[in-house]
Amino acid sequence: MHIPDNYLSPSTCAVMSAAMVPVWVVSVKKVKKGITKTNIPILGIGAAFSFLLMMLNIPLPGGTTGHAVGGTLLAILSGPYAACISVSIALLIQALLFGDGGILAFGANCFNMAFILPFLGYFIYKFIKDRIPTEKGELFGILIGSYVGLNMAALSTAIIFGIQPILFKNPEGIPLYSPYPLSVSIPAMTIPHLLVAGVVEALFTAAIFSFIKKVSPGMIYQGREQKTKAVYALIVLLICLTPLGLLATGTAWGEWGVDEIKDVISGGNQPLGFTPQGMENGFTFNSILPDYTLSGLPDIAAYILSAVAGTSIFLILFKVIAAFKKETFDKNSKLPSE
Amino acid sequence: MNQKYQIHPVLKVIFTFSLVILLSFSHNFAFVMTILVYTLFSLSLMKGNQILAILKISLWVSLFTFIILLPSNKYSSVMITVKVFTTVTTINMLPHSTKWSSITGAFKFFNIPDIFILVLDIAIKYIVMLGNHALQLIWALKLRSIGKNRDKYQSLSGIAGNLFIKSVEMSKEMYSAMECRGFNGKYITLEKKRLSMVDLLYMLIHIGIVILFFYIGKIVE
Amino acid sequence: MIEINDVSYSYLGIRALSHISIKIEAGEAVAIMGPNGSGKSTLLKLINGLIFPDTGCYRFQGQEITENQLQDPIFAKKFHQKIGFVFQNSDTQLFCADVYDEIAFGPRQMGLSESEIGKRVNDLLELMQLDAFHHRSPYHLSGGEKRKVAIACVLSMNPEVLVLDEPINELDPRTQRWLVDFLIRLNKSGKTLITSTHNLELVPEISTRSILFDENHGILADMQTQKMLLNTDLLIKANLVDEYYHIHDGEDHVHFHDHIF
């Protein structure tokens, strides 16, 4: 579910980040108020847990990945606000240190996995649990909550992906970012999540929850009785947010009027696989630096650029080979501790 | 980069992010290529094993991107792949060339709340430890399950649950240890460091890149 | 210096300390003994201001230590600077990226300048024979080295009181010897030592006075270490040893018999 950078337009990223800011602010405030100082480390552990869970991912068509997140589990254990912070941190570490998920797309990734998932999952769990106050009701709530939470997050990711080719293309109609429309992105994202990742998430959440409840019941978050209103409010908010994001990205970009979008959408239904002949500068991509020149740059500049690139690549190759040799040489001294 | 060429972490964080943003905005192939070359150049200044670690990730991610986008169109597949490669490499160079404590210090400089930095800090520390613990537990499970173990999944959830409870206890103790050594939940900003010549050079290069972004944008229009 | 007055404490409904009263003067070397789960660690946590008495009161240098008091960051820093705690599990105590940062953590929190910190850290690394470990990650050290670093982190704040929870456990004999000698030197230089241990062999070396806990989480005895070790009945009563325990020639030499026969 991690969206890499450059798959989304910068304006989409900006809108998603802007949507996350109030969520983060409220979460930090709630957590600061509701948690004792000694319980703060639990958030860190939650983040580490979620991180490890997200490492077990499978690549999906559409440029993204499928995996469990553990967001609902964290929300049940330490409250949705704490879960929001934990998952955000896990995503930040992945983006910063492991190149998994983009920096600009960080807001969008958080929106899906650190906002929609834990809050929706938690509210559904709480809603069911408060209605069916038995052991079975609770388990049912956990399964449904985590399953729906993950799948809604996947759907939201698919929508964000799918609106890219509708909203952002160059004058020739070629998409500038992720090129797959909703008709491709939604099935590509949701089917594997409905069938595999969601099931994994639900079973995992239920299993760990039951274990912790048995062994250390004091660890489970005691949220207030969930009001029905809150769930409805959240659902309404979610429904509102999606088209809002769409509209906001459109206006922020400033290229598409409301009437234009119609044409754009019909354009989006064209079969994929257009050729780049219509491109402004008309350069082909057969060779990246054809004849050491780049259109848009003076020849001398392009030449120097090529030279620097060549030298750098040689240096890199040389150092990598040296590192390989060294690695086999002192493999023993480099073994990680047990 | 070498200890000698240590660039001020705040500058590094700012300009790394600005580079990523400019890349994402740019639709000009020449600009994207220029940044790619600049990134390769800075990469070539690093140590061999660091380069290896960085390239492993960025090449893998770009290859994946390229394959995914192959059926769409040439513009998307080439442009986005190059952008993805450059962005991932740039981002990955940051932790490899800056100490983690300096990065958290830089976060503090940007007024990110302490609780966020604290959680981040603890998570980073525990990822390695938890990973190792999980591995050991899985080995123990393997050793104990001779032949077919039908309850393997049951045991796995036990492992994960155990790990969670244990690590929560450990992290609480770690927090007490931090408190005992005078920590009270507030991170300190980085010590004020004077800007060196290298810092100035670094700033000049990056300001140059920003100018180039707008300049190239103009000639194309 | 340390005054604990009729303190009781329970955690999650389980009693951990029951009507404890102790007075420790500056410069003393005190051992806390008792069977597992008798409340030794809890007492050490209380002394370090990590937990607070349910009833009774704890005074450090005449000042009552309460949760409210420690909310004041200036007071908390001063208090934690004066009293250092070496945890039983070194792993939880070491949380920085390298050994240098680990030892520098305390002084940095105290707001010392980087050059002053550098001097302290280097002095300590030399003193503890850890010169070569500057930039190593604490995770990758051996058990003995971890313990050394953990002690160095605490000493870098130059505390007046040093509290150690089972410091000799899980160390090889050579490192045990080194640590015992080191602790003796620290005590001679004027630091107050409070150590919890089960190690009856080494306890007379690192303490002159012993406090013995029983399984009811109360204090069974508070006397000279040498005398306590000779009082087998008392040790059996505390469930610390069994009837096979004995001391040869009244010397501080103890050994344990195989229980098969």
How many domains is chain B partitioned into structurally? Answer: 2
Take residue A6 and report the two structure tokens written for it.
Answer: 């450059």
- Return the ∠ at Cα A277 (arms to A271 and A281), rounded to 5°: 135
Nearest to C109 among B176, B183, B191 (CB): B183
Residue with tokens 């190593």: C136
Kindly state the greatest CA–CA separation across chain A.
76
Average pLDDT taken over every residue of chain A: 72
Q: How far apart are CA A330 and CA A315, in angstroms?
A: 22
Cross-chain residue pair C139–A218, CB shorter than 8 Å? no
pLDDT at A253: 33
Rg, Å, chain A Cα set: 24
**Do B138 and B215 reside in the same domain of the chain?**
no
Contacts of B14 (CB under 8 A, 6+ apart): none
DSSP per-residue codes, A6-35: TSS-HHHHHHHHHHHHHHHHHHHHHHHHHS
Cross-chain residue pair B170–C89, CB shorter than 8 Å? yes
Take residue B69 and report the two structure tokens written for it.
Answer: 């986008």
Residue with tokens 């404490």: C9
**Do B117 and B92 reside in the same domain of the chain?**
no
Rounded to the nearest 10 degrees, the angle between the axes of helix C114-127 and helix C99-109 is 130
Q: How far apart are CA B5 and CA C24, in angstroms?
A: 52
More confident residue, C153 or A244: C153
pLDDT at B221: 43
Q: How far apart are CA B179 and CA B173, in angstroms?
A: 10
- Which pLDDT band holds residue A256 (cuts at 50, 70, 90)? very low
Average pLDDT taken over every residue of chain C: 85
Instruction: Check: CB of residue A94 under 8 Å from CB of residue A51.
Output: yes
Alpha helices in B26-99 (DSSP H): 29-44, 48-69, 74-97
Residue B103 belongs to some domain of the structure: no
pLDDT at A60: 63
pLDDT at C83: 92
- Range(s) of the domain holding residue B35: 3-98+193-220
Nearest to C80 among B99, B170, B181 (CB): B181
Give the burial class of B146: count Cβ atoms within 10 A of its Cβ; 0-12 exposed, 13-18 middle, 19 or more buried.
exposed
- Which pLDDT band holds residue A54 (cuts at 50, 70, 90)? confident
- Residue ranges per structural domain of chain A: 10-267, 290-334
The share of chain A scoring above pLDDT 90, in percent, equals 10
Residues A154-181 have a mean pLDDT of 82
Contacts of A29 (CB under 8 A, 6+ apart): none
> In this predicted structure, which of A250-264, C108-122, C202-216 has the lowest mean pLDDT?
A250-264
* Predicted confidence (pLDDT) at residue C55 exceeds the cutoff of 50: yes
B touches which chains (3+ CB pairs under 8 A)? Answer: A, C
More confident residue, B163 or C40: C40
CATH for A10-267, options being 2.60.40.1930, 3.40.50.2000, 3.40.1190.20, 1.10.1760.20 = 1.10.1760.20
Nearest to A297 among B30, B69, B171 (CB): B30
> In this predicted structure, which of A129-143, A315-329, C105-119, C167-181 has the lowest mean pLDDT?
A315-329
Residues C169-194 have a mean pLDDT of 90
* Predicted confidence (pLDDT) at residue C3 exceeds the cutoff of 70: yes
| Region for C19 from its dihedrals, namely left if φ exceeds 0, alpha if ψ lies in -120 to 50, beta otherwise | left
- Residue length of chain C: 261
Residue B168 belongs to some domain of the structure: yes
Q: How far apart are CA A308 and CA A109, in angstroms?
A: 35
**Do B13 and B52 reside in the same domain of the chain?**
yes
Q: How far apart are CA B83 and CA A5, in angstroms?
A: 8
Mutate to test the interface with B, among A103, A185, A200 (most CBs of B within 10 A): A103
Chain B hits for C110, Cβ within 8 Å: 182
Instruction: Check: CB of residue C125 under 8 Å from CB of residue C152.
Output: yes
φ and ψ at residue C107, rounded to 5 degrees: -55, -35
Residue B123 belongs to some domain of the structure: yes
* Predicted confidence (pLDDT) at residue A237 exceeds the cutoff of 60: no
Query: Alpha-carbon torsion A225, A227, A233, A236, what sign?
Result: positive
Report in angstroms the alpha-carbon separations of C94 from A41, C100, C154. Answer: 15, 11, 11
Residue B51 belongs to some domain of the structure: yes
pLDDT at A48: 83
Helix, strand counts (H, E) of chain A: 13, 2
Chain C hits for A337, Cβ within 8 Å: 139-141
pLDDT at A261: 36
Strand stretches in chain A, DSSP E: 58-60, 64-66
**Do B61 and B28 reside in the same domain of the chain?**
yes
Chain B hits for C140, Cβ within 8 Å: none
Q: How far apart are CA C16 and CA C43, in angstroms?
A: 9
Residue B106 belongs to some domain of the structure: no
Chain C positions touching chain B (beta carbons under 8 Å): 45, 48, 50, 73, 76-77, 80-81, 84-85, 87, 89, 91-93, 95-97, 101, 105-106, 108-110, 114, 139, 153-154, 157
- CA-based nearest distance B195→chain A, Å: 25
Q: Domain C2-255 adopts which CATH fold?
A: Rossmann fold (3.40.50)
**Do B199 and B138 reside in the same domain of the chain?**
no
Q: Is A218 an interface residue toward C (CB < 8 Å)?
A: yes
Q: How far apart are CA A247 and CA A258, in angstroms?
A: 9
- Residue length of chain B: 221
End-to-end CA distance of chain B: 37
Three-class secondary structure of residue A252 per DSSP = helix
Among residues C245, B164, C41, B75, the alpha carbon closest in space to that of A47 is found at B164
> In this predicted structure, which of A115-119, B108-112, C21-25, C145-149 has the lowest mean pLDDT?
B108-112
pLDDT at B159: 72
